[in-house]
Amino acid sequence: MKNIEFRTAASAQGGLVVMAGVPGVAAGSRVQLRDHAGRVRSGLVIRSANDAVLVEVFEGTDALDLERTWVRFLEEPYKLPVSRDMLGRVFNGSGRPCDGRPPVISADRRDINGEPLNPAARAYPREFIQTGISAIDGMNSLTRGQKLPIFSGGGLPHNRVAAQIVRQAKLLGEEAAEFVVVFAAFGASHADARFFQESFEESGVLNKVVMFLNLADEPVIERLLTPRAALTAAEYLAFDLDYHVLVVMTDMTAYAEALREVAVLRGDVPARKGYPGYLYSDLAEIYERAGRIKNRRGSITMIPVLSMPSDDITHPIPDLTGYITEGQIVLGRELSNQGVYPPVTVLPSLSRLMKDGIGKNFTREDHPHVASQLFASYAKALEVRGLAAIIGAEELSDADRRTLAFADAFERRFINQGEDEDRSIHETLNLAWDLLSMLPPESLIRVSEEELAKYHKGTT
């Protein structure tokens, strides 16, 4: 079967081809199409019956002449050759090298769909990763093996934040050199891809990065493969070669849109905003590949970047992502416009695994309470700020004015920091206490009395 070329394409439309009279084709099998110009495209069987086989073509069906298209069914799923030599290389969206260097030679080829990890085999992520960014380390800490997306919007500096995390991320008492990076871009602009490439180059990690690039002007359907190929590489590096892998993927919105495009062509019943009902499961297949495994040294920590359409966090893509990932870092336009970098809106941001990776033995014993107190005090301060906007700051009580000053200082000094500023967790926590000391101790009920006595600098 592998060597037979069929010329029975019956219809084609927007990336899908129906093949007639090909009995017994395996579902999910990889397909090779040769068109009249001799160009080879690849695809996947998404529906198989004896009388008709539906094929999804990654490079699209443009300029395809049905009578002059030859199709081979390769009888195996889509596979990626994996090897240590992937490090430092650049691949296209379907995992073929595109840096002008020879293909990766490896006898080990892995199904890019992977297999679900047995929950009993997972090890719970507990190791605090210091990113050097106060808003993340102090209040939304990242742990090794976590999946923590950045929710952003058009024009916000999510790429710069992601690049800064890649540059600075390290375990306490360990060098950043332990990390390797798998970077996948789908639907990203050439400028974005170049930005990352240069950023990796500058920090001298380029030979520790595997890049998978499907840029904005490249085939849309190929985007369905890109994250899977990237994660297959990441799994190999983490669980076969014991690396700690940081996976950065951008932009998940482009991925979901590609999925919708194909779903509409297939005639799937739309659920919300035209996205198919299986968007959740599909995203989960990608995100859940992050994690740690018992008795294995390596880990996959994932930072997907997604832009929220019209900054709407309830849009299906950020919404479903938030239900799968272990928290989210939300970037806000308002802070960004005020010149705050990184513009992390801390209130809707969250790290679910933080509670088990911080505090005594991990960071510092006061960390959990300080984080909680910062959230509470800042939430309160925003209320006061809203009030001040209505009745005028002159009408506020003294206590409210101090609260307002706290909010400003919190944004200017705690959240705001330089793009090259790498704050240790102790610096972050000390800074937090500097700010909390602007508030009267009796209003700080989330921290214990002992912690107040030890760290609070102000007088009532």
Per-position DSSP letters for 126-167, written without gaps between them: -PEEE-S-HHHHTTS-EETT-B--EEE-TTS-HHHHHHHHHH
Backbone angles phi, psi at 405, to 5 degrees: -65, -35
Choice between 219 and 322, CB closer to another protein: 322
Name residue 308's beta-bridge partners. none
Binding-site member from 102, 204, 386, 418 for another protein (CB under 8 A): 386
269-284 burial, b if ≥16 CB within 10 A, otherwise e? eeeeeebbeebbebbb
Q: What x/- string results for residues 389 through 408 when contact with another protein is judged by CB under 8 A?
A: -xx---xxx-----------
Binding-site member from 449, 450, 454, 457 for another protein (CB under 8 A): 449
Residues contacting another protein: total by CB under 8 A: 83
Choice between 11 and 207, CB closer to another protein: 11
CB 305 within 8 A of CB 159: yes
Q: What x/- string results for residues 317 through 336 when contact with another protein is judged by CB under 8 A?
A: --xx-xxx-xxx--------
Minimum gap (Å) between residue 157 Cβ and another protein: 23
Binding-site member from 171, 216, 241, 376 for another protein (CB under 8 A): 376
Binding-site member from 85, 178, 261, 268 for another protein (CB under 8 A): 268
Backbone angles phi, psi at 338, to 5 degrees: -85, 5
- Name residues contacting another protein, limited to 135-164 (CB under 8 A): 145-146
Q: What x/- string results for residues 169 through 208 when contact with another protein is judged by CB under 8 A?
A: ----------------------------------------
Torsion of CA 449, 454, 455, 457, to 10 degrees: 100
| Greatest CA separation for the chain | 85
Structural Rg of the chain based on CA atoms: 25
Structure tokens that stand for 334 in this block: 């308002």
Minimum gap (Å) between residue 30 Cβ and another protein: 11
- Name residues contacting another protein, limited to 86-115 (CB under 8 A): 113-115
CB 308 within 8 A of CB 153: yes
Nearest to 176 by CA among 186, 164, 184, 166: 166
Cis peptide before 99 (omega within 30 of 0): no
d(CA 57, CA 422): 45
Choice between 40 and 49, CB closer to another protein: 49
Minimum gap (Å) between residue 135 Cβ and another protein: 15
d(CA 221, CA 191): 21
Backbone angles phi, psi at 154, to 5 degrees: -55, 135
Interface with another protein, residue 365, by CB under 8 A:
no
Structure tokens that stand for 341 in this block: 């970098």
SS3 state at 308: coil
Minimum gap (Å) between residue 360 Cβ and another protein: 12
- Name residues contacting another protein, limited to 333-352 (CB under 8 A): 347-348, 350, 352
- Name residues contacting another protein, limited to 203-242 (CB under 8 A): 239
Interface with another protein, residue 21, by CB under 8 A:
no
Minimum gap (Å) between residue 11 Cβ and another protein: 17
Choice between 134 and 143, CB closer to another protein: 143
Minimum gap (Å) between residue 52 Cβ and another protein: 9
Cis peptide before 270 (omega within 30 of 0): no
CA 249 remoteness from chain centre: 5
Choice between 102 and 119, CB closer to another protein: 119
Choice between 192 and 288, CB closer to another protein: 288
Interface with another protein, residue 165, by CB under 8 A:
no
- Name residues contacting another protein, limited to 47-76 (CB under 8 A): 47-50
SS3 state at 101: coil
Choice between 161 and 330, CB closer to another protein: 330
Per-position DSSP letters for 221-274, written without gaps between them: GGGGTHHHHHHHHHHIIIIIT--EEEEEEE-HHHHHHHHHHHHHHHTPPB-STT
Binding-site member from 93, 125, 332, 343 for another protein (CB under 8 A): 125
- Name residues contacting another protein, limited to 270-309 (CB under 8 A): 270-272, 276-278, 280-281, 284-285, 287-289, 291, 293, 296
Binding span for another protein by CB under 8 A among 100-108, 120-128, 224-232, 419-427:
120-128
Choice between 3 and 460, CB closer to another protein: 460
